[in-house]
Chains A and B, each alone.
Chain A
Amino acid sequence: MVVIDRVKEDFYQRISSDHVLVLVYPDVDSLCACKILQTLFKADNTQYTVVCVSGISQLKTAFTTHHDKVRSVVLINCGGGAKLIELLQPEEHICIFVVDSVRPLELDNVYNKGQVHIVLREGEVLEIPDFDDIYDSDQQAEEDGEEEGEEFFSDEEVEDSVTGGKRRRREGEASYEARRKRHLWRRKREEILYKYSEFNYHSTAASLVLYELAWRLTRDNNELLWLAITGLTEQLLHEKTDREMYVTEMHRMQPHVLRLNRSEEETVSAINTMKINFVEELRLDLYRHWTIYDSLCNSCYTACKFKVWSLKGHKNLLEFLADMGLPLVQCKQRFSAMDVQFRENFRSWIDRSAAKFGLDNMAYGSFSAQIGYKIKLSAADMLLSTTALIENPEKSTEEAFLQALDALSWSNVTKILAGIETAKLQQAAIKTHVRNFIDTHQVVCTGPFVYAYVEEGTPNMKYFSRPLTLCKLARFLREAWISSNKRARDYPFILSAPVDLEKGTCLVAGVPCQTEETRRSEFRKAFTQAADRTQANASFDCFDNCVFEMQMEDRGKFFDALTALCTV
């Protein structure tokens, strides 16, 4: 059953009287959504339990251990694409609510009556096939009829009475007609299902859905709005949705920002409250917390445009800085320590010089938040910091998840700042890797796609054994590769990195090609088919459709099969 219109009554009010189990996938959007939900629960004194699940097996374990203690379960960004009733086998009284941005949603979940509810934003339309095209209620009766007919046939085969023969013929025709119709229906159903599940894409972020719920309950405030904005920014910067959709969503957020951050001249609000405003953000990661030089060298967009790993590219970068009028000494200092005139004019200078050097899409619309005089963060900063905290290589996934959840509340802003430092290390590691890859020509372009391996034993390998960072590396590498090989622009990019040296498993991530406007990817289908063909030991456990795990020795066969599949 799909819950659209009455999010408040059908979803929130049903769960707020019980102890709720919240199962969350460890990525930024889900974390933000979880935090919003926690705030709502706290306001209503609803007891809850939060558990981090990064894959289908973990979802099942968490559910089976907790299920006899709760009546409502909320799944955030996990389980939308899996057959929940089959997998979890919940009891009659348990209600499962799914807030998932992944599409397509599993049809069994959508058409389930009573136990599984999908929570959508108001006005969202699900493109799903009709119920009758997929589920045939007459199917059972017809099957019985067919069996009877066949039995009748075999019994009567020996007898050869005339009446028996006529009846046989009539029944034979009828059942033949029925069987033909059923066969056609089944063929059509398979086609529909194939087309439905062919492409994976993302729809509204879970944090936006839950923010709207908070708004309808009139419990929204700047903190929740900021979380929603972070979730939305993830969708853009982690390439889950395209630019257009991001801009549309941003326009939807604008009224909320304006409403909650009304600046009137007469009343001066307290300095310690959070204020959000709209900014034109540059595609320079963390430049306000780093040096300009480092930020230019380590941000995906600028590093690839300038090709900073080559000597010529480096010189180009220095020329760019000179053109802007920034002395190199200043650029190598922390942004907050630069001279005032450079800091203030930086934006206008970079806008002016960017076009000259081919940096067209340097700016995009975003938001920034400020508390007091000291702390000012843009949405991108927040995103990078939270990603770094979630995928902290020194901690286990669950611990890192809880730390990141803590860091999202503004009373713990020091944790976000610490996360920014970790993010810087991560970015630098990614860029070093990319440079290694390009220098050693490890990127292979095989017809339908481009792929590369992260070798075992590379330094900083621990960063890349987690899905989000691996995808980031893949995107960076793809951009870098495309900057030198324009023809590779249309090919998707697949990257593999070892994740567990003892078990010999590796993580494989795919990023769609750059020209793909709508960000629809067919990775899940392609990967599953290739794995089936080669009988590779692969586990499609992860909820992220572009990432899966498999044994390292099967890698070569897998890629060969994938090539064969894609060239067909």
Chain B
Amino acid sequence: MTRTVKTFWIWCAMFGEKALELVRELKRSQDGNLPPYNDDGIRQVVEEMRTLFEQNQLEVRATTDGERGLLSGIQLRHACLERNQRCLLAYVHHRMTRIRDYRWQTGSVLPPSFRLSLCEQEIQWFTRYNRSLATYMRSIAPTGLDLTQHLQPPKSLLVEVRCLEDYGEFEMEDGTVVLLHKNTQHYLPRSQCEPLIRQGVLEHIH
């Protein structure tokens, strides 16, 4: 009995590893870029799940035929199946969240570098998400409101910004041109400064 239990435990140590590896990969890359869609890893996990499932099927049939002592094995494999499912869903869901955040942070155009990390279905999902976001934004106000411009509600029309590097001339919507020289301070319309603030040329002063 002890030997069978031990074999089981060693066996189980091999299950769920690959799924965990997928999740770990995503966690490691949280600060950096999205890693490419791990097709291989997913396929292996699905293989593993299929093996487990088939074995479980066999043993369930055997148990209904009257064999005993297989219940713990079935339960174990079922737990492993559920674990793998959870890991896979977490993987896919996390990637989806990252892609959605990308849309809000950067924009609706996918640069090639980002496109490479996505699989076909993810790209399709992105396009559909874009479309529904655009429909929603158009429906809020008669002229459409770009919600992705301000991630936090703006408190004032103009913001005080400090120039961190020599940018040169910056033309604003109403035609006035401002010279962004290093170490000068300006008070400019928020909407036009936001992209420069994100780029790091200007610094918002509170």
Residues of A within 8 A of B (CB): 19, 38, 41-42, 45-52, 65-66, 68-69, 396, 398-399, 401-402, 405-406, 411
Which A residues touch B186, using CB under 8 A? 47-50
21 A-B residue contacts at CB 8 Å? A42-B160, A45-B157, A46-B187, A47-B158, A47-B188, A48-B187, A49-B178, A50-B184, A50-B185, A51-B181, A52-B183, A65-B179, A65-B181, A69-B169, A69-B176, A69-B177, A69-B179, A399-B183, A402-B183, A402-B185, A411-B206
The 4 closest A-B pairs by CB, nearest first: A398-B183, A50-B185, A69-B177, A49-B186
Q: How far is the CA of A54 from the CA of B158 in the complex (A)?
A: 28
CB atoms of B181 and A402 under 8 A apart: no
Question: Quick check: is B162 within 8 A (CB to CB) of the other chain?
Answer: yes
Shortest distance between the CB of B159 and any CB in chain A (Å): 10
B182, closest chain A residue (CB): A398
B180, closest chain A residue (CB): A49
Which B residues touch A399, using CB under 8 A? 183
Which A residues touch B179, using CB under 8 A? 49, 65-66, 69
B185, closest chain A residue (CB): A50
Shortest distance between the CB of A451 and any CB in chain B (Å): 35
Which A residues touch B206, using CB under 8 A? 411
Is chain A's binding surface mostly helix, strand, loop or mixed? Answer: helix
Q: How far is the CA of A49 from the CA of B178 in the complex (A)?
A: 8
19 additional contacts, CB 8 Å, given A49-B184, A401-B183? A38-B160, A42-B158, A42-B187, A45-B157, A45-B158, A46-B187, A48-B187, A49-B187, A50-B185, A52-B183, A65-B179, A69-B169, A69-B177, A69-B178, A398-B182, A402-B162, A402-B185, A405-B185, A406-B205
Question: Quick check: is B35 within 8 A (CB to CB) of the other chain?
Answer: no
Q: How far is the CA of A68 from the CA of B205 in the complex (A)?
A: 26
Q: How far is the CA of A62 from the CA of B206 in the complex (A)?
A: 25
Interface size range on B against A: 20 to 34
Question: Quick check: is B73 within 8 A (CB to CB) of the other chain?
Answer: no
CB atoms of A19 and B183 under 8 A apart: no
Is chain B's binding surface mostly helix, strand, loop or mixed? Answer: strand
Which A residues touch B158, using CB under 8 A? 42, 45, 47
Shortest distance between the CB of A409 and any CB in chain B (Å): 9
Q: How far is the CA of A47 from the CA of B188 in the complex (A)?
A: 6
In the complex, number of A-B residue pairs with CB atoms less than 8 Å apart: 53
Q: How far is the CA of A25 from the CA of B184 in the complex (A)?
A: 13
Shortest distance between the CB of B82 and any CB in chain A (Å): 53
Q: How far is the CA of A66 from the CA of B181 in the complex (A)?
A: 10
B205, closest chain A residue (CB): A406
Which B residues touch A51, using CB under 8 A? 181, 184
Q: How far is the CA of A507 from the CA of B162 in the complex (A)?
A: 30
Q: Mark B10-37, 1 if CB is under 8 A from A, else 0.
A: 0000000000000000000000000000
Q: How far is the CA of A19 from the CA of B188 in the complex (A)?
A: 9
Q: Mark B161-181, 1 if CB is under 8 A from A, else 0.
A: 010000001000000111101
- Known contacts A51-B184, A402-B185; A19/B178 CB under 8 A: yes
Shortest distance between the CB of B170 and any CB in chain A (Å): 10
- Known contacts A42-B158, A42-B160; A47/B176 CB under 8 A: yes
Which B residues touch A69, using CB under 8 A? 169, 176-179
A409, closest chain B residue (CB): B206
Q: How far is the CA of A65 from the CA of B189 in the complex (A)?
A: 21
Which B residues touch A401, using CB under 8 A? 183
Which A residues touch B178, using CB under 8 A? 19, 47, 49, 69
CB atoms of A38 and B181 under 8 A apart: no
Q: How far is the CA of A6 from the CA of B78 in the complex (A)?
A: 86
